[in-house]
Structure 1
Amino acid sequence: MTHDVKETFQRHAGTSGAAPPAPAALAAKVRTLAPSMTRSMQRVAEAVAGDPAGCAALTVTGLAELTGTSEATVVRTARLLGYPGYRDLRLALAGLAAQQQSGRAPAVTADIAVDDPIADVVTKLAYDEQQTLADTAAGLDTVQLGAAVTAAASARRIDVYGVGASGLVAQDLAQKLLRIGLIAHAHSDPHLAVTNAVQLRAGDVAIAITHSGSTGDVIEPLRVAFEHGATTVAITGRPDGAVAQYADHILTTSTARESELRPAAMSSRTSQLLVVDCLFVGVAQRTYETAAPALSASYEALAHRHRR
């Protein structure tokens, strides 16, 4: 069985703008999509995320003048962020500004400096971690998540691909699934990943974890699995990245701002682990009658080992 890549693109394009993001998800959308925008669109996105109250008061012409862009660029940016037009974006900005003023959406803290006291480092990292989790939860498509859960819960076999920091997350997911009695394997070696992907077929699931959405060593085995008929899932911070063309379901992660002392690998791992946990719990719920005894058996086996 071979999937139609074009149909997959059309399916994701049709669902991406189904409902405008909630105000709380706006900043997350900006952080996720800004790297793939043109520089002029980035200026618009950074302006609305940095000063939602001020930008909410501006007309499309005013925002274009403020950012040194054009009205067309402002409208394109609004649409890329998931809003039908600039009017809808302004409404979201007003909502976000109200949340910030009420204290429910605090302003982003400053980056970690090389001379920061360790207490400040803890505070800033804790805030960034919390914001990353909140952004990921706000932007996660639960319809896509539910579909991925359904596929994994009934899968004959599940392969998970990831390299580097994403490879650690792939191992975490595979180990969780193994403990509830599912056949799951994590592959960080690209050659082993591809040779295993060749064996997949309809009824199997392949999951690729890549923050950038462009990691070749992860995309290639997903492509092979896709073309052999497996249900494919991408966990990525770039839903418009190359990995999307081979994914039946896309689960989007957010990331805190990258800085010199906090590279993307750290912040992306936080959001990936949240998505992995959501996926795992969903599968455990669907397979509870077999998952619960399997989990109890694994606990008992580990406890017995430690007693020896």
Structure 2
Amino acid sequence: MQGEDDTGLSGTQDGELGSAQATAADYPANDILAVIVDRAPQLSRSHRRIAEAILGYPRLFVEKPVEELVPWLGVSAPTITRFARLLGCEGLRDLKLKVMGSMRIGLPYLEPPTPPATLAEVSERVVMRAQDAILRAQQTIDLGALQRAIDMIGRSQMIYAFGSGGVSSWLVEEAHNRLFRLGLRVSTSSDHQMQMMLAATVGRDDVILCSSLSGTNPELIRTVKIAASYGAGTIALTVPRSPLAAAVDVALTPDVADVLDVRGPTPMRYGFLAVLDMLAYGAAVSARPAALEKLRRIKQQFTTYRDADTTKSLSD
């Protein structure tokens, strides 16, 4: 291409590219897309054009042969090769392989679905996805497993609710919120080291109730195995066919698929919360009248000291 700037970094000559090249150790967890984003402001005009094409259309970049890339990008083949080597790749083929590796995880972030056009559409998507997740949870939960979990909870001397991460950490806090008011003793932790230590102190009448949206958390799996070795019962709220589901006595596994819209919150949490509410409601029904007396006491103190309106929710 006539007059194009084939230098790698602004103000850098071709002969100096060796000093600017990245090595394999420079990649953050082999994330070449992060390398491209980081270097983009310092790239020459031609190399920036290649970088923008990779970040904007990674699938097309990978699929096109070099003879189609040249007119598509508006740069020469040697310029593409120099760009690849500037990033520490052996050539175009190596660059494409690294881009493909990043696409395996990053494609929904690079080519997300069409966003909602209005705030009304935002609210509609959130509500529809939540409704679908709750309905899927109700349709796919194993009622036999749910009943066994309710029975274990009702017989327990102590319940340890364990989870970590953005969703499961507050799900186990919600488990505490729902179960303590039934007269059940509950302790929560989102710290893996503390979870392991607590698991080592359990008795045979204790229960571990854990939550994981991935079902592959190795520390949580280790914790439930430790607790089981001391005779505690183990329950997991997790995804079907996961290592965590296989590691516990009772697996509550709503089959709620995530949506590939990375801009929005995962609707899976609505499905998991619905199952947790099923568990708590079932435990309350099974525990009556003892549970009703605990609930009455809470309401009595709440109306005495906070709000005399007895129609409001039970201090949730």
Q: Specify the TM-score bucket, using the shorter chain as the normaliser.
A: 0.5 to 0.7
Q: How far off its partner does 1:112 sit?
A: 6.6
Correspondence 1:34-183 to 2 at 5 A: 113-114=114-115, 116-164=117-165, 165-183=167-185
Per-residue CA deviation, residues 35-55 of structure 1 (Å, 9 max, x unaligned), is xxxxxxxxxxxxxxxxxxxxx
Question: Which amino acid counterpart does residue 166 of structure 1 have in structure 2?
Answer: S
Per-residue CA deviation, residues 251-279 of structure 1 (Å, 9 max, x unaligned), is 1121341312124xx32211111010000
Structure 1 distance, partners of 2:299, 2:260, is: 38
Correspondence 1:224-235 to 2 at 5 A: 224-235=226-237
Assess if the C-alpha contact under 8 Å between 1:258 and 1:267 holds in 2. Answer: no
Structure 2 distance, partners of 1:305, 1:216, is: 45
Q: How far off its partner does 1:180 sit?
A: 1.1
Assess if the C-alpha contact under 8 Å between 2:234 and 2:249 holds in 1. Answer: yes
For 1:302, the equivalent position in structure 2 comes to 302
Q: How far off its partner does 1:115 sit?
A: 5.1
Structure 1 distance, partners of 2:251, 2:273, is: 15
For 1:220, the equivalent position in structure 2 comes to 222
Q: Secondary structure at the match of 2:289?
A: helix
Assess if the C-alpha contact under 8 Å between 2:236 and 2:245 holds in 1. Answer: yes
For 1:208, the equivalent position in structure 2 comes to 210
Structure 2 distance, partners of 1:287, 1:233, is: 19
Question: Which amino acid counterpart does residue 152 of structure 1 have in structure 2?
Answer: I
Structure 1 distance, partners of 2:227, 2:161, is: 11
Structure 1 distance, partners of 2:260, 2:306, is: 40
Question: Which amino acid counterpart does residue 269 of structure 1 have in structure 2?
Answer: R
Using a 3 Å threshold, how does the CA distance of structure 1 residues 305 and 194 change in structure 2: closer, same or farther?
farther
Assess if the C-alpha contact under 8 Å between 1:112 and 1:121 holds in 2. Answer: no
Q: How far off its partner does 1:114 sit?
A: 3.5
Larger Rg, first or second structure (1 or 2): 2
For 1:278, the equivalent position in structure 2 comes to 278
1:199 and 2:201 are equivalent in the alignment: yes
Assess if the C-alpha contact under 8 Å between 1:112 and 1:261 holds in 2. Answer: no
Q: How far off its partner does 1:222 sit?
A: 1.5
Using a 3 Å threshold, how does the CA distance of structure 1 residues 227 and 247 change in structure 2: closer, same or farther?
same
Q: Which 4+ runs in 1 deviate beyond 3 A? A: 111-115
Structure 2 distance, partners of 1:269, 1:178, is: 21
Q: Secondary structure at the match of 2:160?
A: strand
Assess if the C-alpha contact under 8 Å between 1:160 and 1:174 holds in 2. Answer: yes
Per-residue CA deviation, residues 142-179 of structure 1 (Å, 9 max, x unaligned), is 00000010110111111111112111011001121111
Assess if the C-alpha contact under 8 Å between 2:161 and 2:187 holds in 1. Answer: yes
Assess if the C-alpha contact under 8 Å between 1:179 and 1:294 holds in 2. Answer: yes
Structure 2 distance, partners of 1:243, 1:228, is: 18
Q: Secondary structure at the match of 2:205?
A: coil
Q: How far off its partner does 1:187 sit?
A: 1.0
Which is worse superposed, 125-134 or 253-262? 253-262
Per-residue CA deviation, residues 223-280 of structure 1 (Å, 9 max, x unaligned), is 211221111111112x2212123211111121341312124xx322111110100000
Structure 2 distance, partners of 1:280, 1:194, is: 25
Using a 3 Å threshold, how does the CA distance of structure 1 residues 121 and 198 change in structure 2: closer, same or farther?
same
Structure 1 distance, partners of 2:116, 2:307, is: 46
Q: Which ranges of structure 2 fall in alignment gaps of 5 or more residues?
A: 1-111, 309-316
TM-score (norm 2): 0.58
Structure 2 distance, partners of 1:144, 1:128, is: 25
Assess if the C-alpha contact under 8 Å between 2:245 and 2:253 holds in 1. Answer: no
For 2:75, the equivalent position in structure 1 comes to none
Q: Secondary structure at the match of 2:210?
A: strand
Question: Which amino acid counterpart does residue 140 of structure 2 have in structure 1?
Answer: G
Assess if the C-alpha contact under 8 Å between 2:116 and 2:122 holds in 1. Answer: no
Assess if the C-alpha contact under 8 Å between 1:213 and 1:242 holds in 2. Answer: yes
Structure 2 distance, partners of 1:113, 1:210, is: 29
Q: Secondary structure at the match of 1:168?
A: helix
Per-residue CA deviation, residues 108-154 of structure 1 (Å, 9 max, x unaligned), is xxx87445201011111111111111111111000000001011011
Q: Which ranges of structure 1 fall in alignment gaps of 5 or more residues?
A: 1-110
Assess if the C-alpha contact under 8 Å between 1:197 and 1:221 holds in 2. Answer: yes
